[in-house]
Structure 1
């Protein structure tokens, strides 16, 4: 079974360019997506946001995590063993490398996870061709594809919703020394790829740590469309705290303002009909919460939607749902999700039910997200 180590391998993509670039671990200079690639020493230091426990050589070990956000994705990574380098933006795309750190702090550029998003929207077939085509990344780096065995499966990485396919590879010289995987993914309709590359003797330490990066990889929203998902802080590219003008620009569509409340400080704005049942509460011209109503097909990031049972909501958010009586429906409830992260302590996700199924839900900042009458 290659799935476990390969899944870890996938995390960050290499760079897609008009001219394929050579990515060599033994080269003292890091691969660059553009002439503006930033040296490791000058990278900003992320702030540790949490810890997690992973299995390393069969033993549980707690590792500190740092978070990273780029224009295209966000994730967490074990800061004890990875150093991050981002390539400068260009028309070709954006690449990010997670290089392996030895215990003494030195960097091994033969061991990395790399994620790359093309500058222009490309299909999965175009991204695949860029990797394995005649003038692609594989040939430029003297890699060759490896056939998956009949017993191989990547079911273990099915929890990565962006994953569409993977390609195993090895170097043409010293093929026994390196484990390589290229992952083809898609987020918000944008195709990208991730390359994992490491010496085989690193597998026990590298794979479980890289797995953390993969599990936490999420796309940064672009625009607002019918496939956008609700989070604690927004939906699509629209975030709580934006002005109405900023939200309209981020969503890529006009927002229609409804009649303000008598106080004249609270109102709702609505996107186009292509985003059904979504409304933004506005307080003093800034987005305070997002409401999903009227049998809307929109979902939360975890997949919760109108029509789900109360039991399913509790399954999706185990141990984090509190239940209180509904103010107007005799058998109804409010199911309130309270996040664990300190940075999200002022946000909530609230599901209203008729006692059996979700009838509407909303997210946003306190106290506005708790107002059961909205702006009334």
Structure 2
């Protein structure tokens, strides 16, 4: 009888021990987790900033506002002839054979000066919605211009009393295209010019 009880106790002990998961079984269970899930979790934990950046929408230019650059406007380029098949052409009376002006119905309020067969200056006036890349157009405040172009030189306006003035790029006169603003007495941009000297400094059309 004593031997029977000992045998029964041994059997129960063996059953209890066999019910615990073995290390090899635990490892097998862990290895059953897909590697893709592990990699994804690790990437998410270590790359939160990249994930957030990727989720941000890309900012794209809004609208079709034409831009005036140092190179020119649309197909009209500083230092090159007026395109033959474009919309730019002479309109109205011309005051000189040596200096001509061209305009385009696609760009109201804008005209260009042509000398020696090449575009020397493009001027943006009151009726134009053309702006610079910086977003500055006719009607912008003087303070806005100075903030965007802090090194520009101020000089007295030829036809208007102060505070009207010209603000001209410091590289004007170097032979390269430069920028020049006309500021009215109201402290706002009245005209924007891009071109090369001396034409950039003309105060009245071809003069």
Q: TM-score range by the shorter chain?
A: 0.5 to 0.7
Match in the other structure for 2:24: none
Match in the other structure for 1:267: 100
Q: 1:313 aligns with which of 121, 132, 145?
A: 145
Residue 347 of structure 1 and its aligned partner are, at CA, apart by 2.3
Are the equivalent residues in 2 in contact too, given 1:239–1:287 (CA < 8 A)? yes
Paired positions, count: 158
Structure (1/2) with the larger strand percentage: 1
CA RMSD of aligned residues (A): 3.2
Q: Please state if 1:352 is matched with 2:185.
A: no
Residue 268 of structure 1 and its aligned partner are, at CA, apart by 0.8
SS at match of 2:161: coil
In the alignment, structure 2 segments of 5+ residues that lack a partner are 1-42
Structure (1/2) with the larger helix percentage: 2
Q: Please state if 1:284 is matched with 2:122.
A: no
Q: 2:135 aligns with which of 303, 307, 316?
A: 303
Residue 227 of structure 1 and its aligned partner are, at CA, apart by 2.3
TM-score normalised by structure 2 residue count: 0.65
Matches within 5 A, 1:107-122: none
Are the equivalent residues in 2 in contact too, given 1:293–1:361 (CA < 8 A)? yes
Residue 293 of structure 1 and its aligned partner are, at CA, apart by 0.4
Match in the other structure for 1:242: 80
Residue 345 of structure 1 and its aligned partner are, at CA, apart by 5.0
Distance 1:187 1:243, change over 3 A: farther
Residue 276 of structure 1 and its aligned partner are, at CA, apart by 2.0
Runs (4+) of structure 1 moved beyond 4 Å? 146-151, 185-189
Match in the other structure for 2:168: 336
In the alignment, structure 1 segments of 5+ residues that lack a partner are 1-145, 158-163, 166-184, 190-225
Once residues 187 and 235 of structure 1 are traced to their aligned partners in structure 2, the CA distance between those partners, rounded to angstroms, is 18
Match in the other structure for 1:170: none
**Which structure's CA Rg is the greater one?**
2
Once residues 130 and 188 of structure 2 are traced to their aligned partners in structure 1, the CA distance between those partners, rounded to angstroms, is 15
Are the equivalent residues in 2 in contact too, given 1:338–1:349 (CA < 8 A)? no
TM-score normalised by structure 1 residue count: 0.37
